[in-house]
Structures are given as C-alpha cells and as structure tokens.
Structure 1
Amino acid sequence: MNAPSRWFSLFALLTLLAAPPLEAGLPMAVDGQKLPTLADMVDRVIPGVVNIATTGHVNVPDHPLLNDPLFQRFFDVPTTRGKRQKESKSLGSGVVVDAKNGYILTNQHVIDRAEIINVTLRDGNSMQAKLIGVDKETDVAVIQVPAKGLKALPFGDSDALRVGDFVVAMGNPFGLGQTVTSGIVSALGRKGLGKGFEDFIQTDASINPGNSGGALVDLSGKLVGINTAILSPGGGKGNVGIGFAIPINMARQVMGQLIEHGQVRRGFFGAQAQNLTPELAKAFGISGGSGAAITRVVINSAAFQAGLRPGDVIIEAQGKPIRSASDLHNVIGLAKVGESIPLKAIRDRKEQEFTVVMANPEAEKIKGEKIDPRLKGAIFGIDTEEGEKTQIKVVKVMPNSSAWEAGLRDEDRILTVNKKPVPDFPALAKAVRSDERQMLLNIERGEEKFFVLVR
C-alpha cells in the first residue's frame, strides 16, 4: 500500500470513529426526519395472513381412441371403465377474521374440490382446516382451524375507500411464503370479470398466483379486501399491475351466512333490470343518465308486492346510488330472505320510495313428485311477468330421473296438461289427476312447441 492510500484509509477510519453511533433497526433519515415505513403495521398484521395448501383429485379424460367402437372391439377394450383420476394440489392464502372461533376467509377457487385443506401460520405451525361453506357467486369461502395461537385482522370499511388510497397486499405468491407488496387503489366498482357478483377493488399492489384469498389492508392495517384475481395479457400468470380484490363489506355479508347456514340463502326479488342508456334516460326524463330500468316484474313477487312496475328506474338501494343494473344486482343479490331493502325510483318523472321485503325463493318452486310420481326428479317454478299470463316452467331436471326419461328438460315451459291450461301449481295438479292413465304435456322449448306423452 503506497503512502496516499495509507493516509486515505486512516482518514476514513478516524471519520467513522468520530461519527455518532447509529441506532440499529431505525430507518434512514433525511434532514433529521425519519423516512416513513410500513414495517410496524406489517408486523402487527401479517400474523393474521395464512398460507393454504390443498390436495384433491380430478378426473382425467380418456384418450379419444378408447371411446372409438372399432378400437374397443379390435383391442378388446372394455366399453365401461372406471374414471381415471389424478391428484391435484393448489396453493393460496387466507385471512384470520375470528381468532376466538378459528374462522378464516379465503377464495372459493382456492379450496375448490379440495379433500384436504392445510393451513400454515406465520410461525410455521401447520394444521388441517374444516370447510364451513363456499359461495361460488362471490368467490368467497370460510374455513375453520383450531383456535390456538391465532391473530385476527380488524375489519375496515371498503365503502370508504377512494381511488388513490394506499393499500398493502399480503399473501403467498407462487408458494414462496408470506409476502408483502404495496400500491394504491387504482379503481373501484370494477366489473366484467365473469363472476356472479362483481364490485371489485382494482389495485396496482403486486398480486400473483398464490395471493388469492390473501389480505388487502389499508395503512392502518385494517382489512379492506380479499385478493382474488389478476389481469394478465395473453393469459399469462405474471403481475402487470392490475389486480382485483373482493370488497370486505361484501365478503362479510357472505361470511355471516356461510357461518350460520353453510351456504348463502339469497332472497327472491322477482324483477329484472337493464342499464339506463343516455337515450333511455332522456325518454324517462332522468338527468345524469344513470340507474337501473325495470324491464320485468313477476306477479306476486317481492318486487311486485312492493309496488315496482316495468318502466320504473331504480336510482338508489339501501342508501347506495344505483348507476347500473349490475349495481342493483349486487345489492339485491346479497340480501337475505326476509331482509327489507329500501329503494328510490323514478316513475313518471317523479321520485318515489319503495321497500322490498326479500321473499323465499323456495316458495316459488315445487318438486315434481309432490304432484305425481312420474314427475320425480323435476323442480317446477312459476314464470310470469306484469301484463301476461302465468306459466309453469321446469327449473331443473335431474339426469336419468323419471321426469328426465319422460322427456322434460331445464327451462321447458308447460303450456297445457291433458289439454288443460296450467297457470299455477294447483291447476297443474288438477290437470294431472284428470286422467290417471296418461299425462299429455304440451311443451314450449325455445322456439319449438310439441307434445310429450307420459304414461
């Protein structure tokens, strides 16, 4: 080492010795001010985010040749074979929302078809979870683990979020383990992802495969969403800054019913609506051009009993503005049987208020075997709208059932039975009893009308 180098090294050493001692673990400071950090919040919150691993089995399709009759006969392949299966595994995330009872929120698609659900906590402790319930329409699921050593995340208010708010995503991307990313709320009320009920929070906080079911929290550490999907060009699986989360207010509504009933018991509204275009808004005399125009009302349904009629334009439901048919669908579709929904609508250019009490959808259905054993396996419902006669429709037919063998299919409309009109269930039962030897059904299926003879 030459002389200049020795003097420089000595000068650097003296400078370091003369500097004030650094505080270990503290962030760097600028002009005496500490830089902001999310570390304290993350330390509090991340123990409530868990890793989920599932194991199940899926059917493996046969090679097409195995189903070819000539191939079967030539190689003596059995025509009836058991389905081949292979083991399937998936990774995801979950959020502890009730430490006392061990309840964890996650996505339905994370635990879909799972036979075994394993949950791993932040401290590495792993345990098997019990499935409480799933709701495919909202992609929400609730599982339960032994309530030991759990820490729940506090709920936030997703309705209070604004575009530009900072958020943090936590989960288990690509099976790496608990990971934290940050970003902002890019948009609210996103729709069009192909889910049943859509009101997504869009964020640029990195969300990747495995993050599904994880937490989206605000800067105070409160849970505002459940990470659920990403948008990636070309069907890729990488993050491009467009991720989506289910608002926690929606997830909480679903969670309550899943815990109480094991499923979501949605009430029956009995009306259909369409988006209000600028042209329709002008025709209805509505300024702003937003709302949901009622196009159909089922007679004696909850909507009908509340006084709603085709042509009414819903502008508010449960105190929330209704800008589209999807907005109305989200509010009404999450309401429970018996729940009262206050509405505001425009009729004849005047604002009116209505209260809809959600009906039990099962009250509008009847099992076929209650009418006649030959109709076993079918579920019938009433199809009707304002200003038209009621009709019996086939809601569902179980394959290979008596009703199925008789020729009934889903969505069939029963026009007559034994040449008698059947506008309701009593009329249907009376017409069936009118001739015990046979049952002649006049059916409308799509654009076709034809007769089916049931003996």
Structure 2
Amino acid sequence: MPTASDFARTAMAATLMLAASGAALAQTQPAYPPFDAKRGVFSFAGGLEKSLPAVVQVTTLGQSRGPSSADDPKPFSSGSGVIIDAGQGIVVTNNHVVQGGRKFTVDLTDGRLFDAVLVGADKATDIAVLRIEPDGRPLDLTQVRTVDSDTLRTGDLAFAVGYPLGLDQTLTMGVISGLNRSGLGDAVEDYIQTDAAVNSGNSGGPLLDSQGRLIGINTSILSGGAGGGNDGIAFAVPTRILQTVTEQLRATGKVRRGTVGAIFGSLTPERARELDLNIVRGAVVLDVAPGSAADRAGLRREDVLTRISARPVVNSGSVLATVGLSTPGTELAVDYLRDGRSASTRMSVAEAPGDETEDQPATPTT
C-alpha cells in the first residue's frame, strides 16, 4: 500500500516534469510583450534592429526645371526602400518614387551612398526594383527577412520604417487595421491597412511585423487634411503581391498582366438587396466580353464570385489582384452564386493587351 512518502515523491516528480516542460516551452516561444531585463523596459528593439540596416533612402534625379546641363540631373524626388537581396544589391521601393528619373542613389544607414539602376517598375501595383551598383567598395549589405502576408491578422502589431519629412530613418508603430483593402484607384489593389504613422518620404519603405520581418511596402495614405499628413490610415502592398511582381521585374523588367475579359464590381449592401442576397462580401460580374475566358467559363452578368483560386473574395479588388497577377495560361478555380444558388467553374487567364495603368493608388506618401 502506498505511503505518504510515496505520494510526496510522485508529486515531486510530476512537479519537476511540469517545470521542465515549461522551461522547454519558454525556450521555443518568445515572451510577449518582450522585456529587456537588463534595462528594465519593454522593447521590440531586439527583433527590429536586425532589419533596420536594410531600410534605405532612395533619391531620384532627373532634368531640373531651371537652367541646367542635360548631363547634370538634379534631385526631384525622394522616398524609402528596403533591401530584399543583399547579395545582388536588390532594393524594392514604389514606382511613384522613381517615376521619371534618369539616375538614382541609395543612402544606407551607415552613411554610405551608392548609385543604383532601375531594374523595372510596375505602375499597377506601384512597385519598382532598383539594383545597387558596385563601385569597388565592399557592399556588405543587410537584407530584410520576409513573411507571407496571408498569415497576417487584424490587430497584429506593425512597424513602418522610412525617411519621412526630411528626417533620418524613423520607426513608427501601429497595428494592422484591416486587410484586403481596395477601391482606392483603378489598379491592382489588395492592401494592408495600418495606423502606424506614415508621411511624405515613407513611400517605398517597409511595413514590418514585431519580429522585424517584411509584411508589406508602404505606398499610400488617406488624409482628410489639406497638407496630406498622417491621419492614421495608411496602405501597404502585401508581400504576397510584392514577391510575384519583383520576381517578374527581376527576370524580364516588366510584369505580364492577366485578364479574363470581365468587369467586376464590389458587392455592396445596395447591390446585395437588388440581387436578393444576404451577404455583402463578394464581386459582382458587371459585364462579360463575348468569347473571353470568363465567357467560356460560363460566367454571366450579376453572378457573384465568392472564392477565386481557393481565396475568399472580399470585393472586386480580390478578383483583380488574383487575376492581374496570374501568369497567362493559369487556370483559376471560381466559386460563385447565381440567383442565390452556388456553382463553380474554372477559367484560364489570358494576357492583358496593356500591362500597365497610369492610375496611382490613393494619395502617394511622397
């Protein structure tokens, strides 16, 4: 028969096992909010500091408006950028930062200045790729780590880094305010919304998570003030789109845009009532070109797309982003509603006749 000492030994063994498993768990999972015991403060510096040297200032030079030699381009635009490939000196920024430029320079956090060449730019997503030009000095660059933006959740912490309003590198903190934002222009839109302070000069700079990993590129703001300042509503191109665009720009210098030959509109409450639907998330087919991919797939006017390529359709931007960034020939699975009944089909993406748009999203931050 077990004695009291036997029970005590068993309880002690169980306690030690729990303590050991707790210690192992603590070693594999970081403590949040992170606490710097040495200084006695809460701080995200440990995760972010590794990425800050990858954030650069981009200056665009072109023909001066005043009297000047054609061989003496003057700075007319500046913004931010982030190094995504240290070995090749690849910097990502916004198209509107470099648009119209003849020459580009990149200013690193350690004070070094390098010339850069434009690899390619895409107006529809407002993404541009630069390559830092070696000049005999060791590049010794730092690149940012990247995370899949599809893993983001509203309420996650977000940090915007850049060179706003003539200041040196500046870090601001906020949260992910929303995902899948669109309707700000006529381009490929599927933005991350954040309330991290973003101002003129932040364009092209990274939006980072709390571990310092890249989740998006800051590209535009909504501002109610006449000066276009920060009102807590900023938008970033998510890495899901960023990676697709940069891969194509690095490979060919341009982006092949997909199309299915249909016009889509967001499902609003008004449209939902007209169609006798009890949902307000989706994209309504407004028109279908005869003989197009959408036509061959059997889509008709007033069909409501609810999923495309296994992704939920929030609005028309969800469809445009998926179709526009799909390479021609890609087959997309589509779920839709017709007269309130569910149906599905597949459609093959065709190459768009024009792969760029002149429209710019919302208010550029530079």
TM range (shorter): 0.7 to 0.9
Amino acid at match of 1:178: Q
Change (3 A) 1:170 1:275: closer
Query: 1:212 and 2:203 equivalent?
Result: yes
Q: Distance in 2 between matches of 1:238 and 1:284?
A: 40
Residue equivalent to 2:238: 247
Taking only the aligned residue pairs, the percentage that are identical comes to 39
SS at match of 2:350: coil
Query: 1:44 and 2:35 equivalent?
Result: no
Residue equivalent to 1:89: 76
Q: Distance in 2 between matches of 1:239 and 1:254?
A: 27
How far residue 312 of structure 1 moved from its aligned partner, in angstroms, is: 2.2
Q: Distance in 1 between matches of 2:140 and 2:45?
A: 22
How far residue 285 of structure 1 moved from its aligned partner, in angstroms, is: 5.3
Deviations 1:229-277 (A, max 9, x none): 2333333143232222111211112112211221111122111123334
Q: Distance in 1 between matches of 2:294 and 2:194?
A: 36
| Contact 1:129 1:143 (8 Å CA) reproduced | yes
| Contact 2:49 2:212 (8 Å CA) reproduced | no
Amino acid at match of 1:53: T
Query: 1:120 and 2:120 equivalent?
Result: no
| Contact 1:281 1:290 (8 Å CA) reproduced | no
SS at match of 2:42: coil
Residue equivalent to 2:122: 135
Change (3 A) 1:243 1:283: closer
Change (3 A) 1:45 1:286: same
Contiguous gaps of at least 5 residues in structure 1: 1-24, 30-34, 61-84, 365-455
| Contact 2:192 2:238 (8 Å CA) reproduced | yes
Decide which of 49, 56, 67 is 2:62's aligned counterpart: 56
Q: Distance in 2 between matches of 1:42 and 1:282?
A: 47
Amino acid at match of 1:179: T
Residue equivalent to 2:89: 102
How far residue 146 of structure 1 moved from its aligned partner, in angstroms, is: 4.0
Query: 1:312 and 2:306 equivalent?
Result: no
How far residue 315 of structure 1 moved from its aligned partner, in angstroms, is: 0.8
**Max radius of gyration: which structure?**
1
Q: Distance in 1 between matches of 2:302 and 2:330?
A: 24
| Contact 2:59 2:75 (8 Å CA) reproduced | no
SS at match of 2:76: strand
Residue equivalent to 1:359: 350
How far residue 334 of structure 1 moved from its aligned partner, in angstroms, is: 2.0
Residue equivalent to 1:177: 168
Amino acid at match of 2:48: V
Amino acid at match of 1:113: G
SS at match of 1:174: helix
Residue equivalent to 1:335: 326
Residue equivalent to 2:29: none
Change (3 A) 1:193 1:300: closer
How far residue 103 of structure 1 moved from its aligned partner, in angstroms, is: 1.4
Change (3 A) 1:106 1:161: same
How far residue 58 of structure 1 moved from its aligned partner, in angstroms, is: 6.1
| Contact 1:214 1:226 (8 Å CA) reproduced | yes
Q: Which moved more, 1:149-158 or 1:195-204?
A: 195-204
TM-score normalised by L of structure 1: 0.63
Residue equivalent to 1:291: 282
How far residue 354 of structure 1 moved from its aligned partner, in angstroms, is: 1.5
TM-score normalised by L of structure 2: 0.78
Query: 1:144 and 2:144 equivalent?
Result: no
Q: Distance in 1 between matches of 2:204 and 2:268?
A: 36
Change (3 A) 1:267 1:186: closer
How far residue 283 of structure 1 moved from its aligned partner, in angstroms, is: 5.7
Change (3 A) 1:359 1:247: same
SS at match of 1:181: strand
How far residue 160 of structure 1 moved from its aligned partner, in angstroms, is: 2.0
| Contact 1:138 1:195 (8 Å CA) reproduced | no
| Contact 1:91 1:175 (8 Å CA) reproduced | no
Q: Distance in 2 between matches of 1:241 and 1:323?
A: 23
Change (3 A) 1:233 1:291: closer
Q: Distance in 2 between matches of 1:89 and 1:275?
A: 38
SS at match of 2:51: helix
| Contact 1:271 1:294 (8 Å CA) reproduced | yes
* More relative contact order, 1 or 2 (CA 8 Å, 6+ apart): 2
Q: Distance in 1 between matches of 2:93 and 2:178?
A: 22
How far residue 59 of structure 1 moved from its aligned partner, in angstroms, is: 6.0
Alpha-carbon RMSD: 2.5
Residue equivalent to 2:22: none
SS at match of 2:49: helix
